[in-house]
Structure 1
Amino acid sequence: MTSRQQELDFGERPHLVDLFAGPGGLDVAAHWLGIVADGVEWDAGACATRRAAGLRTHQADVRDLGPEDFPAATILTGGPPCQTYTVAGGGAGRRALDQVLGFVKRMAAGEDVRSELKTLEDERTALVLEPLRWALRANHLGRPYRTVVLEQVPAVLPVWEAVEEALEGIGYKTTSGILHTEAYGVPQTRRRAILIARFGATEKPRLPKATHRRFRRGSAPRAGADDLPLWVTMGEALDRTDDFVVVSNYGTGGDPKARGRRHSDEPAATVTGKVSRNRLETPDGKNLARLDPWDAGRLQTFPRDYPWSGKDVSQQVGNAIPPRLAAHVLATALGLVIDPRRLDDAVRGTWQDFDESRPVATEGADTGRDVD
């Protein structure tokens, strides 16, 4: 029996618990891969979307639950709220980074730091530590998660590196790094800090290999530079043949008045919770109808009929991990091989019509890459 087969019994459907599950970005990917997913999410709007999509949903605060509440789960995933760590946010998380790193070390040493977390400037900053609490608790119960997958904004990478050290201390092999979404077929430039950990593995895990070229504005890719196809454009993702320009709600280059602009033959800029405020124009400056939630969802690689529901739908869309990226990360973490055509069909097809009997990945050799 190989180390990969020891980690995952392919005779049964793997089962994960997803913390801070949002409207279902990672859970959609799990569905495509044939994985059972229980999502924990407290936001009422996101839960409304999840329930409309038929996803297993537990509306609760992850701080009030633990591994004992999901005894069947052997995979732990999570994307904690990023507002205090993002450049667009208030920066409380970045200011508290040293404190957070100190808490990681103390938690790994067995200390209960929960009462001290309340002293942080913004309580959301401490939520990034919840996946570690769950992993340590599961190990204490004698049922360590076989696989852990975490994602966040790039500013959280130092936290993930500290979490790596904590997990390696209890028997995991780990890796972390920054992934660019357009390099995985997402029609959007967005960077995510990813951590993958495997319990009892003999080798260090890898991050998924890129499937598409990185987007570099103003520099055409060299012919024959590699075997990868170009990035996916907004026009392709939205099935639009007309030329259009998306004008960002945000400034660029340090100038709040200089709005970022992306053409329809380019990937979108990062889809945020303010995506509904972006303007659409023709190349000669005439106004077009703005993106609706379903358009924004498709730029995130949600199926075109995904049932967005509840309040603050734009925020739900912007907060989610792109399902296509999540599928590549999960597949690599679990030693699965994705069929690119099946994944394309899932992304471009409808949520209701996906054939669960034909998941987009099968058991196979690890196709990931070493961390740069």
Structure 2
Amino acid sequence: MTSTAPQQSILDRPFVLDLFAGPGGLDVAGHELDIPSLGIEWEKSACLTRYAAGLDTIHADVSAIRRDAFESLPPEINVLAGGPPCQTYSVAGHGAGREALEMVKKYIHRLIGDESDEAIDADLKKLTDPRTALVLEPLRYAIQATRSQTRAQRPYDVIVLEQVPTVAPVWERYAEVLTHKGLPDGTKYEVVFDVLATERYGVPQTRSRAVLIARRVGLGQPSLPSPTHRAYESKEWTRRSASAESQVHQPTLDDTGTPEADEKEKDEKPSWRSMGDVLRNSVGTHPGRPTPFLVRSNYGSSGIPGRRGVRTDQQPAATVTGRISRFVVFEHLDENIVREGARFSMNEAGMLQSFPPDYPWSGTAQAQQVGNAVPPAFGMHLLSAALGLPIPDTKTLSKPWQAATEDQRAKLRSHGCGDADACTERCPRPQDQVPPPSSRPRKKALVKQFAPRSLGP
């Protein structure tokens, strides 16, 4: 189901609580939509980026805030959003989360039942990787909101979740519980979920995300965001390239051998955004990359690890992850000369994630911050669909980001860490969430494909 968004939000004053907020992808989306947000993030460098960007932040463990400081959160928050850490579920990870998927789905029903938090926490501590349990936190926050005295036991109106495709079965179980059984206080939601391709929403990379949008019953049936761009199809790209090289001007055939489907799609939507669209021209401190280029990613092509994927500046980037700094860039000077050029800067890597130019990446592990973030353009579409807003204009993200002043940064850090210039005892220690080492070999994950679905009570 796609969006037929009205012109006004379903909420009078939407206010987003962003769990696992990272460097700010969803908060940047909220900023562009004029929606306030508060992010909770445990990783210090990501918080430094957020403070420099002027984003309201709490430097804390999401689980600890829920257990010990939930009543301190602003009671006017009415939208819960989150993208729990994906490493244990990701195809690129060791797979502890995938092995625990069935166990995690059982915990969802235990949370809705009568078991105590203490009993559930005790069992969750037995998981091989503690990050696996974090996918349950959005549900635990939704339940906690109905018990909060500060909120007068008022549930969240809207829930927006996103993760890697391998977490789709968890979102499916979320949907079943939220629509049929409801939260322990009886609150039920209407839910849609699916795996979406971000290049169809103006993000200049191919990246699939499992998303869930839920609205409290009475606020209207939610819908998935309407795609604004065509999907990237490698077969189509190959055909187009071959046609251009041979200079044969014939209709492009689709997989069934007929040109009508391709032509209809072209008429309805513009093509996906390419790396060249985003990086070619100078903007802010970005000098531009006017010379055609090729990119060799750090990933295997067609499932073959030894065959590195190569794309041109006329294609979207491969999925941007923490390995983006390893992508090799070759400048195509002319048909006979190709030379290795400068690799992507963090500013450019952020732009390929649809962050505004000059976003103030700070601290260490900046490539990992970029790769872990929600693409802001995709976030704008998710929030707009969740709140019933019109399709957003993501072109606003092409303008350079205005970083916070030093006074603004100090004030934000005082609120988030307890001190204007340093972390304090209330801030989490990085070693508290580092998973134990694993010597198990990686296994190929099977990603279940979901047809778009809508579930209601």
Structure 2 CA distance for partners of 1:216 and 1:6, relative to 1, 3 Å? closer
Q: SS of 1:164's equivalent?
A: helix
User: How far apart, in 2, do the equivalents of 1:4 and 1:270 lie?
Assistant: 33
Aligned to 1:233: 274
Most deviating of 81-90 and 194-203:
194-203
Aligned to 2:375: 322
User: How far apart, in 2, do the equivalents of 1:116 and 1:4 lie?
Assistant: 46
Deviation at 1:223, TM superposition (A): 2.6
Aligned to 1:366: none
Q: Do the aligned partners of 2:18 and 2:80 also contact (CA within 8 Å) in 1?
A: yes
Deviation at 1:351, TM superposition (A): 1.5
Aligned to 2:94: 90
Q: Which has the larger radius of gyration?
A: 2
Structure 2 CA distance for partners of 1:166 and 1:106, relative to 1, 3 Å? same
Q: SS of 2:37's equivalent?
A: strand
Aligned to 1:361: none
Q: Do the aligned partners of 1:176 and 1:193 also contact (CA within 8 Å) in 2?
A: yes
Q: SS of 2:390's equivalent?
A: strand
Deviation at 1:255, TM superposition (A): 2.3
Aligned to 1:214: 231
Q: Do the aligned partners of 1:206 and 1:370 also contact (CA within 8 Å) in 2?
A: no
Structure 2 CA distance for partners of 1:295 and 1:202, relative to 1, 3 Å? closer
Aligned to 1:363: none
User: How far apart, in 1, do the equivalents of 2:125 and 2:140 lie?
Assistant: 16
Deviation at 1:4, TM superposition (A): 11
User: How far apart, in 2, do the equivalents of 1:251 and 1:218 lie?
Assistant: 17
Structure 2 CA distance for partners of 1:5 and 1:144, relative to 1, 3 Å? farther
Most deviating of 307-316 and 68-77:
68-77
User: How far apart, in 2, do the equivalents of 1:65 and 1:44 lie?
Assistant: 16
Deviation at 1:370, TM superposition (A): 6.2
CA RMSD between the two structures: 2.1
Please point out which of 162, 174, 183 is paired with 1:151: 162
TM-score, normalised relative to structure 1 = 0.90
User: How far apart, in 1, do the equivalents of 2:200 and 2:136 lie?
Assistant: 28
User: How far apart, in 2, do the equivalents of 1:55 and 1:353 lie?
Assistant: 10
Please point out which of 145, 153, 174 is paired with 1:138: 145
Q: In structure 1, list runs of 5 or more residues that go unmatched.
A: 355-368
Q: SS of 1:259's equivalent?
A: strand
Deviation at 1:164, TM superposition (A): 1.4
User: How far apart, in 2, do the equivalents of 1:289 and 1:7 lie?
Assistant: 46
Letter of the 1:46 counterpart: A
Q: Do the aligned partners of 1:294 and 1:305 also contact (CA within 8 Å) in 2?
A: yes
| Larger RCO of the pair (alpha carbons < 8 Å, separation 6+) | 2
Q: SS of 1:50's equivalent?
A: helix
Deviation at 1:108, TM superposition (A): 1.3
Aligned to 2:284: none
| Moved >6 Å (runs of 4+) | 3-6
Provide, for residues 219-252 of structure 1, a one-character-per-residue CA deviation record: whole Å limited to 9, x for no partner: 1472333410000000011123321111011222
Aligned to 2:189: 172
Letter of the 1:320 counterpart: A
What is the aligned residue count? Answer: 350
- Map of 1:182-193 to 2, 5 A cutoff? 182-193=199-210
User: How far apart, in 1, do the equivalents of 2:392 and 2:297 lie?
Assistant: 34
Higher strand share: 1
Letter of the 1:295 counterpart: E
Q: Do the aligned partners of 1:22 and 1:320 also contact (CA within 8 Å) in 2?
A: yes
User: How far apart, in 1, do the equivalents of 2:204 and 2:371 lie?
Assistant: 14
Q: Do the aligned partners of 1:271 and 1:318 also contact (CA within 8 Å) in 2?
A: yes
Deviation at 1:204, TM superposition (A): 3.1
Q: Do the aligned partners of 1:176 and 1:196 also contact (CA within 8 Å) in 2?
A: yes
User: How far apart, in 2, do the equivalents of 1:371 and 1:186 lie?
Assistant: 24
- Map of 1:1-372 to 2, 5 A cutoff? 7-9=10-12, 13-66=13-66, 67-70=70-73, 71-111=75-115, 112=117, 113-141=120-148, 142-168=153-179, 169=182, 170-201=187-218, 203-219=220-236, 220=240, 222-225=262-265, 226-239=267-280, 240-283=289-332, 285-340=338-393, 343-344=394-395, 346-352=396-402, 371=453
Structure 2 CA distance for partners of 1:6 and 1:44, relative to 1, 3 Å? closer
Letter of the 1:123 counterpart: P
User: How far apart, in 2, do the equivalents of 1:202 and 1:7 lie?
Assistant: 7
Q: Do the aligned partners of 1:84 and 1:94 also contact (CA within 8 Å) in 2?
A: yes
Deviation at 1:347, TM superposition (A): 1.2
Deviation at 1:353, TM superposition (A): 9.0
Deviation at 1:81, TM superposition (A): 0.3
User: How far apart, in 1, do the equivalents of 2:31 and 2:220 lie?
Assistant: 27
Provide, for residues 242-294 of structure 1, a one-character-per-residue CA deviation record: whole Å limited to 9, x for no partner: 21111011222232220011110000000000100110013454211100100
User: How far apart, in 1, do the equivalents of 2:385 and 2:392 lie?
Assistant: 13
User: How far apart, in 1, do the equivalents of 2:7 and 2:330 lie?
Assistant: 50
Q: What percentage of aligned pairs have identical amino acids?
A: 49
